[in-house]
């Protein structure tokens, strides 16, 4: 319900994957972080370790997805709570956290990048397997999105170059 209500205002299509009690859009998260307040779920984030292909390089990452803040709490800095996750991310043994956002969220995500905690990579397309298979649709989707990378075990200089990222599975 939280994800349906959070993603619904961005378009009915965005809320559709969460209809019928489904609590993830594609791949099931390995780790969920859920923040509560007196009114229920305040924020949610999911992580999944996976290999992606960036250009010609295979790379282990923790994919960040299902990231949302209840609409009445937007603008209060809850997205910065991602930073308290660094110790957990270091325990996962991943060199980078990778996520994608719509171009409309550039300003919001850009705030996380101000202090060097993350970098936004524009001009990179991301190919994903569709989470549901339909005979009349192709099995993959390629999107022009903003890629957000948090260096955890390596420096940002070690992120491979490439203009296409293969997710090797469905979007988280």
Of the two residues 28 and 161, the one the predictor is more confident about is 161
Q: Domain ranges in the chain?
A: 1-166
pLDDT of 14: 62
Q: Model confidence at 77, in pLDDT bands (50, 70, 90)? A: low
CATH architecture assignment, domain 1-166 = 3-Layer(aba) Sandwich (3.40)
Distance (Å, whole) CA 21 – CA 4 = 9
What pLDDT does 68 receive? 78
pLDDT recorded at residue 4? 67
> Is this model's pTM higher than 0.85 or not?
no
pLDDT of residue 54: 96
Instruction: Note the pLDDT of residue 27.
Output: 63
């Amino acid at each position: 319900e939280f994800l349906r209500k959070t993603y619904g205002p961005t378009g009915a299509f965005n809320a559709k994957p969460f209809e019928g009690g489904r609590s993830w859009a594609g791949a099931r998260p390995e780790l969920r972080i859920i923040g509560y307040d007196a009114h229920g779920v305040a924020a949610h984030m999911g992580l999944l370790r996976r290999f992606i292909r960036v250009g010609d390089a295979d790379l282990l990452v923790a994919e960040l997805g299902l990231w949302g803040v209840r609409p009445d709490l937007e603008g209060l800095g809850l997205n910065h709570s991602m930073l308290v996750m660094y110790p957990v991310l270091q325990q996962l043994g991943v060199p980078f956290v990778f996520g994608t956002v719509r171009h409309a969220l550039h300003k919001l995500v850009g705030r996380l990048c101000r202090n060097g905690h993350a970098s936004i990579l524009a001009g990179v397309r991301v190919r994903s397997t569709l989470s549901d298979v339909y005979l009349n649709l192709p099995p993959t989707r390629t999107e022009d999105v903003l890629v957000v990378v948090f260096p955890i075990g390596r420096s940002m200089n070690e992120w491979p170059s490439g203009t296409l990222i293969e997710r090797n599975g469905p979007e988280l």
